[in-house]
Structure 1
Amino acid sequence: MITLTGNSLTLEQMKEVLVGNQKVHASVTSMEAVQKSREAVERIVAESRVVYGITTGFGKFSDVLIDKKHVQDLQLNLIRSHACGVGEPFPENVAKAMVLLRANALLKGFSGVRPVVIEKLLELVNKDIIPVIPQQGSLGASGDLAPLSHLALVLIGEGEVFYKGNRMDSLEAFQKEGILPVTLEAKEGLGIINGTQAMTAMGVVGYLEAEQLAYESELIASMTIEGLNGIIDAFAEEVHVARGYKQQIDTAARIRSYLSDSLLTTMQGEIRVQDAYSLRCIPQVHGATWQALDYVKEKLEIEMNAATDNPLIFDDGDKVISGGNFHGQPIAFAMDFMKIAVAEMANISERRIERLINPQLNDLPPFLSPEPGLQSGAMIMQYVAASLVSENKTLAHPASVDSIPSSANQEDHVSMGTIASRHAHQIIQNTRRVLAIELICAMQAVEYRGVEKMATQTKRLFDKGREQVASIKQDRVFSKDIETAAAWLKTVDFNKFTKKLSVENGSY
């Protein structure tokens, strides 16, 4: 059971909930702060004080005063009118993350919602009742209004959910679990939808997948090095210490660990003096990706524990400040950075694929074909990798450089952070398929070289990989192989796998 405080949620804990189905609950201290904040809102309503979003309209309507007798109508109208997202729904794990993150933000005690609202959010998480939330429609400032409104619809018994493999009306799922919807009171609708949880949730899921891919890419690249009789000298520790980047040093150390007992690697001058950059510069390029991912991780863990709605309530209600913490610029930049970093993993992987199949660049059978000419082998797999890489280049264009005014120019600069996070997620899926193709080609190459000469650790990857994709003895529909390998890379826990291997080897 993970205890939420509003201040201490980590990416590892998010992974435990999203992958391990760990349950969550709110800390008693945090709930006490929530109650105090709620009492402040109730005093504001009772005293008819003019406070944005509590006794006024929203956005450009901030100067319109609302009578206290319409408090519930104001919140209900807000949710219904703002729930206008379009397109395919977010993946279920992203929507679940969104619910959890919104509850955690409200637990900070600055938002003025009742404890029952947070309890209801956590009940959705623990019972796997996942809101159906359309992906498109957020500008990434003034919060992820449209996506989070679809989340809020579920709390009031409207909208749809995913429940036990089915898509259904939220009330139907509530009835199955004995849950009652809530009636939103003053500030609560605004408190739920005014935040960055859509972009952050997509970013969290994207980061967890990207981190796993980054580890996988190093082990797959190590097998490619063996398939091409790569020069191991380029990974020597002193080379990378001389430059000084920790992530580059660590990547080189893992490559050395994976290949420590390989009989397929060579020394400089043994076959050639230098390898091409896509082999020789793996630590430099992959290390730079790790630098970007470290930046993304830092920003996500701040945002996961941030108060991102408006207004925020301080000093037991004596201070209610309209600010701009809902603006997604920090996450927009982080997501654009992640897009570029992961796209580069695919770029260099595709170049290694080319070196594995191009007969002008190696001494392997052309296109790794079992019968060159009669059978095409991996020829078109490289086409697919090239296509995915090119698509990534389009998706990697930074969304955060764009802005468009909204709400009659009241909200005149926005982040587009949710677009950035969605594009990052797509780049990650594309990159996984590119790495799947590299794995298929690398396995074929080491078969020609002699599997018995492989390093212990890459041989383990080869054996597991061959359980997923058979050796190419005859041309077949390789689309199935690519998708099978990609699905395997997504589900196998390579993060722990590679760390375990490094510890076993004793060199990292």
Structure 2
Amino acid sequence: MFKYGIDHLTVEKAIALASAKLVGELTNEAITKVNTCRHYVEKMASGDKAVYGINTGFGPLCDTQISPAETSKLQENLLISHAVGVGKPIDPFIAKLMLICKVHALSIGHSGVRKELIDRILLFIEKDWIPVVPEQGSVGASGDLAPLSHLFLPLIGEGEFWINNEIKSARSVLKEHNIQPLNLQAKEGLGLINGTQFILAHTIFGLHKMNYLLDLADVSGTMSLEGYQGSSSPFKEDLHNLRPYAGSKKVASRIRQFLSNSENLDSHANCGRVQDPYSLRCMPQVHGASRNAYEHLNELAEIEMNSVTDNPIVISEEEAISGGNFHGQPLAMAIDYASIAAAELGNIADRRCYLLLEGHHGLPRLLVESGGLNSGLMIPQYTTAALVTENKSLCFPPSADSIPTSMGQEDHVSMGSISGRKFNQILNNLEKILGIELLYAAQAMDFRRPLAFSSIIEENFEIIRKVVPKLEDDRYLNPDIQAIIKLVQQKKIIVA
């Protein structure tokens, strides 16, 4: 059981909550904090002192005070007027992560919303009623205003839900279940749409995927090394202790494990080659640098998951601080860094694919013995090359840009929402690149038989061969490529 507002949320726990493998609850401790903060907000709302977003307008209208009688309409207007997103809906799983992250932030007890509102969001999570959220429209500061507005329109009976992979109006779903829309009270609309949950949910989703792909890159790289019959020397512990980056040391250790008791690599000692090309020799340094970037983003994402990121933040019955905790820059810059790191995993994997095609050290050109009549595995590397270049084009850092909004009141924004979306596009392409590398590596390994590989590499070889037979003569390769990409997407390749 996960206690919202009390327990420490992590990527793994967020994914488990969204997958219904972990149940979340609002405990008495969290309820007390929520109710206490709500009391503070109600006092401020009925007072004469102007408090941003509680009894004033928003953005450039912050100098316009709102009467207590107009408070509810102000909050409802906020959701309706800010729900201006465009483009395709985001993955419902990511939208569900947004709900989970927002519940956790609200339950910390500094946002001033009612328990009833949090309970309603928890009901959506429990019943898997996931709001439809367009992918475009957030600039990643003042919170992810547009996507969060769409996320919470169903609270007031507007917007749409995903119900069993179909889109239905929220009003009809609520009516079907005899549930009345909520009337938002002071601060609640602002508490809902101020925050970084769109950026954060994309980050969580990407980190979960990238964690596996980092491990997979070590496996696919090792299999390419085996196919090339390369050297194990670059992975020796003594070498990496002299330049002890955590990522490099971890990759080298993993590759040593994958090469343990390999008859094939033992045969390298007699081949007379001193050094392999960089795409094989430098895997610890390149894969390791990507791991370092991943760890940095993961650390920041955990801070963000357990933070209060709306505005103003209610501290006491006398103090509500107007600040900038909604600004997405802390995540945006690190996402852009991790995007480059993910793209580089694909870049070096493509180079290994190309290397295996060249016909060196006992391998036939294009990885088929009957080349000429057959093109063999020539063309899948064109696909990896295209994907690699697409990823490079996606590496432009949105966090380096800013366009002022809100009549200049919001004069520097993070664009982190775009960073989060592009991060996941790059990772989707990386899945395909690594899948194709596995195709190449398995084909090359076939030419090293009857020599045996380590147990984990042999297991993965068999997993691949169950869905993709060795290529002897040209055949329609798209089904093979799709089958091996599916293995990657379903995490069927053993990585540890």
TM-score by length of 2: 0.96
SS in 2 for 1:498: coil
Residue 12 of structure 1 deviates from its aligned partner by 1.6
- In 1, Cα distance between the equivalents of 2:177 and 2:354? 54
- In 1, Cα distance between the equivalents of 2:219 and 2:178? 48
Residue 47 of structure 1 deviates from its aligned partner by 2.0
- Aligned residues of 1:6 and 1:306 also touching (Cα < 8 A): no
Give 5+ residue unaligned stretches, structure 2: none
Could you say which residue in structure 2 is the equivalent of 1:79? 79
- Aligned residues of 1:141 and 1:328 also touching (Cα < 8 A): yes
Could you say which residue in structure 2 is the equivalent of 1:413? 412
Q: Residues 482, 337 of structure 1: CA spacing in aligned structure 2 closer, same or farther, 3 A cutoff?
A: same
Confirm whether residue 498 of structure 1 aligns to residue 492 of structure 2. Answer: no
Residue 172 of structure 1 deviates from its aligned partner by 3.4
Residue 464 of structure 1 deviates from its aligned partner by 1.1
Confirm whether residue 117 of structure 1 aligns to residue 94 of structure 2. Answer: no
Decide which moves more: 87-96 or 191-200: 87-96
Residue 27 of structure 1 deviates from its aligned partner by 2.5
- Aligned residues of 1:264 and 1:453 also touching (Cα < 8 A): yes
- Aligned residues of 1:7 and 1:306 also touching (Cα < 8 A): no
Residue 434 of structure 1 deviates from its aligned partner by 0.4
Q: Residues 199, 100 of structure 1: CA spacing in aligned structure 2 closer, same or farther, 3 A cutoff?
A: same
For residues 400-428 of structure 1, give each alpha carbon's deviation from its aligned partner in whole angstroms, at most 9, with x where no partner exists.
11001000000000001110111110000
Could you say which residue in structure 2 is the equivalent of 1:506? none
Residue 19 of structure 1 deviates from its aligned partner by 3.9
Give 5+ residue unaligned stretches, structure 1: 500-508
Confirm whether residue 344 of structure 1 aligns to residue 335 of structure 2. Answer: no
SS in 2 for 1:87: strand
Residue 362 of structure 1 deviates from its aligned partner by 4.6
- Aligned residues of 2:18 and 2:100 also touching (Cα < 8 A): no
Could you say which residue in structure 2 is the equivalent of 1:232? 232
Residue 260 of structure 1 deviates from its aligned partner by 0.3
Decide which moves more: 458-467 or 79-88: 458-467
Could you say which residue in structure 2 is the equivalent of 1:295? 296
SS in 1 for 2:212: helix
- In 1, Cα distance between the equivalents of 2:321 and 2:327? 15
SS in 1 for 2:408: coil
- In 1, Cα distance between the equivalents of 2:297 and 2:36? 34
Code of the aligned partner of 1:26: L
SS in 1 for 2:25: strand
Could you say which residue in structure 1 is the equivalent of 2:309? 308
Decide which moves more: 293-302 or 117-126: 117-126
- In 1, Cα distance between the equivalents of 2:180 and 2:473? 59
For residues 119-150 of structure 1, give each alpha carbon's deviation from its aligned partner in whole angstroms, at most 9, with x where no partner exists.
11122222211111011100000000000000
- In 1, Cα distance between the equivalents of 2:475 and 2:71? 64
SS in 2 for 1:113: coil
Could you say which residue in structure 1 is the equivalent of 2:63? 63
Could you say which residue in structure 2 is the equivalent of 1:424? 423
- Aligned residues of 2:95 and 2:132 also touching (Cα < 8 A): yes
Decide which moves more: 170-179 or 247-256: 170-179
SS in 1 for 2:307: coil
Matches within 5 A, 1:26-425: 26-175=26-175, 179-266=179-266, 267=268, 270-315=271-316, 317-359=317-359, 361-369=360-368, 371-425=370-424
Could you say which residue in structure 1 is the equivalent of 2:436? 437
- In 1, Cα distance between the equivalents of 2:10 and 2:292? 19
Residue 327 of structure 1 deviates from its aligned partner by 0.4
Residue 493 of structure 1 deviates from its aligned partner by 6.1
- Aligned residues of 2:230 and 2:276 also touching (Cα < 8 A): yes
Code of the aligned partner of 1:263: E
Q: Residues 226, 179 of structure 1: CA spacing in aligned structure 2 closer, same or farther, 3 A cutoff?
A: farther
For residues 443-485 of structure 1, give each alpha carbon's deviation from its aligned partner in whole angstroms, at most 9, with x where no partner exists.
1111121165122110101111222323223323323322332
TM-score by length of 1: 0.94
Code of the aligned partner of 2:294: L
Residue 113 of structure 1 deviates from its aligned partner by 0.3
Residue 23 of structure 1 deviates from its aligned partner by 2.2
Residue 108 of structure 1 deviates from its aligned partner by 1.1
Code of the aligned partner of 1:303: E
For residues 260-310 of structure 1, give each alpha carbon's deviation from its aligned partner in whole angstroms, at most 9, with x where no partner exists.
011111445634100111101111111111111110100000001111000
Could you say which residue in structure 1 is the equivalent of 2:449? 450
SS in 1 for 2:216: helix
SS in 2 for 1:195: coil
SS in 2 for 1:379: coil
- In 2, Cα distance between the equivalents of 1:268 and 1:138? 57
Q: Residues 375, 356 of structure 1: CA spacing in aligned structure 2 closer, same or farther, 3 A cutoff?
A: same
Code of the aligned partner of 1:253: S
How many residue pairs were aligned?
A: 495
Residue 7 of structure 1 deviates from its aligned partner by 5.5
Q: Residues 355, 198 of structure 1: CA spacing in aligned structure 2 closer, same or farther, 3 A cutoff?
A: same
Code of the aligned partner of 2:315: F
For residues 235-268 of structure 1, give each alpha carbon's deviation from its aligned partner in whole angstroms, at most 9, with x where no partner exists.
1111111111122111111111111011111445
- In 2, Cα distance between the equivalents of 1:307 and 1:251? 35
Q: Residues 27, 362 of structure 1: CA spacing in aligned structure 2 closer, same or farther, 3 A cutoff?
A: farther
- In 2, Cα distance between the equivalents of 1:283 and 1:37? 50
- In 2, Cα distance between the equivalents of 1:174 and 1:345? 46
